[in-house]
Structures are given as C-alpha cells and as structure tokens.
Chains A and B, each alone.
Chain A
Amino acid sequence: MARGTFAGGVHPAYNKELANRKAIEEMPVPQRLVVYFAQNLGAPPEPVIKKGDTVRKGQVIAEAKAFVSAPVHSPTSGTVKSIDVFPHPVGTDLPAAVIEPDGEDAWAEGCDVERNTDSLGPDEIKKLVQGGGLVGMGGATFPTHVKLSPPENKKINVLIVNGAECEPFLTADHRLMVERADEIIEGAALFARVLGVERIVVSIEKNKPDAIEAMRSRASGRKGFSVAAVDVLYPQGAEKQLIYSITRRKVPAGGLPMDVGVLVQNVGTCFAAFEAVRFGRPLIRRIVTVTGGGIAEPKNILARIGTSFEDIVEFCGGISGDTGKVISGGPMMGVAQYSLGAAVTKGTSGLVFLRRGEIPQFVSDPCIRCGKCVTACPMGLNPSALSIFTERMAFDEAEEFNVLDCIECGCCAYVCPSRRPLVHHFRRAKAEVRKKAKRTG
C-alpha cells in the first residue's frame, strides 16, 4: 500500500493511451434520439410529453416529482415520434422518448441566456442546478442538488473536485480537464459558494500530468483552490476512497461524505454546473470516451444525451468484426451491453469495445480462501465470506458482514484466482437485503 492513499485497491492495465490525446470532438445531432426518462439514482421523473408533441432544445420532457430526482430535458428541437421501451445501459429495459430532430436545434425560451453569476446567492445557484437536471456524471447519477442540501447540523468544509478517473480506458474527464479547465473551476466555485466551503481540492491521478498542469495553472491564484496529484491506484476515484486520500477522514459504514464534512463532485458535473448556472443550458450533452481495440477510431466525443450507441459506432468509423463485448462505462464497473440500440444517458462516461482476444473466457471455481480479495477490498470487507453467504442464500449473515457497504468496484473479482463472479453475488445480496428491509418496513 502506497503511503498517502487508501488501503486495498488494484492496478489494472490502464489502456488510456488509446484516447488520452484525442481532443474532444462534438458529434453532430443524429437522425434519432432515444431519451430515457429515468436517468438518475432515486425516483425517476415523470414524463410530461406525449407522442406527436413538438419539443424545443432544453425543454423539460420529464419532471422531477420527488426530491431525490432530476428532470430530463430535450437534447434538441424536434418531434416526439414515439414512447417505447429500450435497453438502458445500466442493465434494465426502461421507457424512453424517441425524438426526431428538426435540424434547427433551437433552444426553448429562457435557455441559453448568459447571466452574471457574481450576484447569485446560494439558493439561486441550487435552484438552477436542480432545474438543469444535474446528476453526478462520474457514473452514479446521484442528483446534484441533493448533495448540495445537507441537513443544518452537517457543515461541509471541503469540496473535492474529482478528476481521478481511475477506470481503465476512460479519458473523458481527463480531456475535459485539459480543454475546459476554466469552466470546471468556475463550476466548482459555484458549488463552494452554495455551501460556504473555503477549501477546494482538485484531485487527479498522477498518470495525467497534462491535466494536472492545466488545472494547476488555472487554479493558481484563486482563493481556496489547490490541486492534489494522487497515487495511481484503482478505485482512487471512488468517493470514500478519495476522501480518505485527501483528508484522512473515514466515512462511517452506511454514511455519506457529508457526515465527515466533505462534498465530492466529478469534474464533468462541475462543468455542467457552469453551463447550467452561467448560460442556462440544462444537462443535455456529455463527454463519452469511445475506445477499445474493437473500434476503428477511438475518440472523446461530446454527444447529446439520447445518442444511440449505433450512431456513435458509425461516427467513430465502425467496429471490427471480432468485437466480442461492448461495455457502457469502464471495464471495472461498467455493464456489458447486448444491443447497440441503447443510448447515451447522463451517466454514460464511456463505451469500451473489446475484441474477442481481449476477453478472458473462464469458468469460476469454488473459493479457496486465499484471502486476496480481502486484501484488495478498498472498503475493508470480506468478499470471500460474503460470496459464500450469498451462494447459500444466507442474506442475513451477508447483511451482518456489511454487504451494503460494497461499492461494486470489482477489485475482489479482479484478483480472484478462482475467477469467482464476486460483484455479481454482492449485487444480488444487496438486492435481497434491500427487499427484506422494504418488506419488514
């Protein structure tokens, strides 16, 4: 374990060189957009459009009815062709609106108007963030305004801007930091103002020297800002691990960063906040890393939310014939897709196309109790015991061994010599524990 970082973790092959020098390219609006209504963790927003409606770019198409929810906006102007069920990149089939662009890409009224951010108070900023449909863009898609609303008794005093990007292959945050450093810093400053935070730490893994340089040069001289180069160790970009690396504070089991006075925001979310608050542009596009040996031209693209994976493949020159797996997100935490009919959501950080030769095929064997997973687990859990509990359907024991604290980072499965599908087991155990909690109220 390197000093100055969290315990556990692994060193997967990073494979970032495929796309880390590719400048962000804006992808043209495709012929058809598939916009899911559920794009955030928590309560899905409710659709407010129907088939045949005309929509404008930035118009709300699904309204958040609960607090832990975020509205969804139309990514362009056009017509709602249909509302149907599509495969969602997170692993379920969910309803989405199919929007046919009219080619004008015309903003709805009130959007895309520059405002002076200096005079905005905390509540106004929070309202703009909430209205802009912002969610955590590192992949977890937790509504941003919820993080900005800690209870009275929890004082936040550190804001960590997360640019660690520890997932192999992905370079979306990296490129954003190199190319849009000013906007990220402005966005982070807005978050800091909402919570009255005076210390802002931009954290970047040491394998991105150009990003560190870019952020340092922009942050220098700004009050409260500092840039920390953190060790290259997966999962450095996981919230709780990064908090420990930067502040030495431990988030209690079942707790939230706000319990230790920290707020973590991804660099992409900071950029989106700047866009939403300064220019009144809701979250309708994001940067997606398209990479892997299976894609002709790896790229970092700025794509509209709702761009189908099929269109992205076409934009990046097609896939090779021996492509065997397509993963939405990174290879450690992403979800393998069965169809290119799925589309970009607010949480789609990358698309990894792996060739057959790059995918190990294996059968999993029984646990040999070697303890490698225990050493690798960054949350200090015992994956070996947890997986055996799950196989025996002893979910009460799994709960007692804190399966709910599992962050599904995949370190345990990565090191397992028996190739056990550990994370899959834990996802099931978590689902069962939550189901039981719901039943017993």
Chain B
Amino acid sequence: MLTAVIALAGLALLASFGLAMAARAFAVKVDPKVEEIEEALPGANCGACGLPGCSELARRIAEGKAGVDACPVGGEAVAHMVARIMGQEYEGGGARMVALVLCDGGDQVARKRFFYNGVYDCVSAALLFGGDKACLYGCLGLGTCAGICPFGAIDMLPSGLARVDPEKCTGCTKCVSACPKGIIKMVPAERTVHILCSSHDKGGKVRKYCQVGCIGCQRCVKEAPEGAIEMEDNLAVMRYEFEVPATVAEVCPMNTIHVSGAGASDRKTAAGGGE
C-alpha cells in the first residue's frame, strides 16, 4: 500500500517536472494584447475586414499591420476599446454606415415578365434573362442577401423585397457584394431621406414596369439643396454628404422618395433610420 502511494507520488513529481520543463522549452510567445483585442472584437468571424476571422485581425492589429478601426462591424465602440488596449488615441472616424436596398418595387407594384420556377436564389435567377422582374434593376426578392447576412439584419418582406434593419446592420457590406443586381448601397445611418430606386431606364419604360420607380422628372433635384440630388443616367441619386429636408419626398410623383418613420407600416422599415 505505502509503496504504491510513494511510487505514484514519485511518478507524478517526475511527470510534472517534465511538463514544467516542456512548457518552458516549447512556449509559444503570444502577445497578451492579441487575446485582449480578440475579446473586444465582435467574434462573428464574418470576414468583412477581408481576413479569415477575428483572431487573425486581432493578430494584425497587435502587430500594427491593421488600424484600430479595421473592424467595419464593430464600429466606433470597438475601435475605442481596441485603441485603449493598444495604448493609442482614437479620434473617431466618419458616420456609421448601414446597408440600404434601393428598390421599393414589391410584387404589387412591379410587373413580372414570366413565372420563375428555378433555384430559390437571386444569383441563379439572374442567370435567366436577368430575373423575372420586368425592371432589370429591381430586387428579385429571393433572399440571397438575407441568407448571407451574418447578423440577421435583412428581412424579406411579404411583398418580395429585401429590407435592411438599420439597427442590426453593422455595415459589413457582405450583402452589397452578394446582390446580383448591385442595388444595395452603403448610406450614413443618420440620414432619413432616401430615393428607393436604381432604374436607369427612361421614364416611359419605368412607368410600364413599376408604379414606384424613378421616372427622372427631376422635381426632387429642384426641391433639394443644390447638389444634394443629382441625375445619373435617368435616375435621381442622393448625395449623402448633404442633409435633405423631408419635404423632398412630397414632390415625388411616383412616391419613390421615402422618409424613415413616416408613411405606411411597410415603409417604416423601408428607409434606413437614424439611431
């Protein structure tokens, strides 16, 4: 009995000594900052920074190869925390950006050209004549963007449109590159007036295809402050550097311009909103 205890205790001592030596000899030196930074990052491993995951970004930031605000998802809050860990000052960048789907042509108001019965995915649908919508710039509504959003910020409305919830959106821009129609744009979260159309078709065509499309009448251009809305190939485009009054929405004959927090319930979420 006693021999067994002594023998085991001896073995344990020997093994622990061996482990202690090994830990010292093969120690991997990790900058403690890396772990701290990783802790501070959102941890979604979304890839929005262009790196394989949050730990890789943490390593780069600790090495000084990436800025403290390199995580587009974390925004200012994370940037401040990371800056504190790195012992740097962070003055704060620009405005918080959120994604916005620039189409309001739901099934009730936008014409379809044919019945699509293929793979339930926008990119696949766009392979066939650019999708079933008559308007080639319209939201196909099969939810590719909603599926790819790592933060569950995109909802598919019953009308067959994708809508970004500006509260949940972290600005990772994954949906922007996933949309085969290229109609998701990044806009400052504090702006409330938006032109929800991407069609570069001429007015006559737009009227045929959709009841809420921009027909290029330019009334909003005249109503808005100089330079705030510009015409680009038959489409009124908002310049978000400018503040635009909500009255601009009232002059639009097609109801293409929306003010968040106003109008029908569907439209409440339609436009991006402020914080």
Contacts and interface: CB of A to CB of B under 8 A. Distances in A.
Interface of A: 87, 91-93, 335-336, 338-339, 361, 393, 421, 424-425, 427-428, 431-432
17 contacts: A87-B129, A91-B127, A91-B128, A91-B129, A92-B129, A93-B136, A336-B128, A338-B113, A338-B114, A361-B117, A393-B148, A421-B118, A424-B118, A425-B119, A428-B121, A428-B124, A428-B127
Contacts of A361: 117
B168 to A, nearest CB: 22
Contacts of B127: 91, 424, 427-428, 431
Q: Pick from B119, B127, B136 the residue with the most CB of A within 10 Å.
A: B119
Given A336-B128, A424-B118, A427-B127, 5 more contacts: A87-B129, A338-B114, A421-B119, A425-B119, A428-B123
Q: Is the interface of B mostly helix, strand, loop or mixed?
A: loop
B203 interface: no
B62 to A, nearest CB: 28
A91 B114 CA distance: 13
A335 B128 CA distance: 9
Contacts of A393: 148
A430 to B, nearest CB: 10
A93 B117 CA distance: 19
Interface string B117-135: 1110101100111100000
Interface in B8-67: none
Contacts of A335: 128
Given A424-B118, A424-B119, A428-B123, A93 B130 contact: yes
A256 B119 CA distance: 30
Contacts of B128: 91, 335-336
B275 to A, nearest CB: 32
Contacts of A91: 127-129
Which 7 A/B pairs are nearest by Cβ-Cβ distance?
A: A338-B114, A428-B124, A424-B119, A424-B118, A91-B128, A338-B113, A421-B119
Q: Pick from B113, B114, B129, B136 the residue with the most CB of A within 10 Å.
A: B129
Given A339-B113, A424-B118, A93 B123 contact: no
A125 B200 CA distance: 46
Interface in B135-167: 136, 148
Contacts of A425: 119, 124
Given A338-B113, A338-B114, A427-B124, A93 B119 contact: no
Q: Pick from A338, A361, A425 the residue with the most CB of B within 10 Å.
A: A338
Contacts of B118: 421, 424
Nearest to B114: A338
Nearest to A324: B115
Given A421-B119, A424-B119, A428-B119, A93 B129 contact: yes
Contacts of A421: 118-119
Interface in B85-132: 113-114, 117-119, 121, 123-124, 127-130
A424 B124 contact: yes
A385 to B, nearest CB: 16
A421 B148 CA distance: 21
Nearest to B127: A427
A422 to B, nearest CB: 10
A425 B120 CA distance: 10
B45 to A, nearest CB: 16
Nearest to B124: A428
A347 B34 CA distance: 60
A375 to B, nearest CB: 23
A138 to B, nearest CB: 22
B124 A338 contact: no
B111 to A, nearest CB: 12
A93 B148 CA distance: 28
B130 to A, nearest CB: 7
A425 B148 CA distance: 17
B175 to A, nearest CB: 14
B1 to A, nearest CB: 59
A432 B155 CA distance: 25
Contacts of B113: 338-339
Contacts of B124: 424-425, 427-428
A92 B130 CA distance: 6
A424 B114 CA distance: 17
A93 B114 CA distance: 14
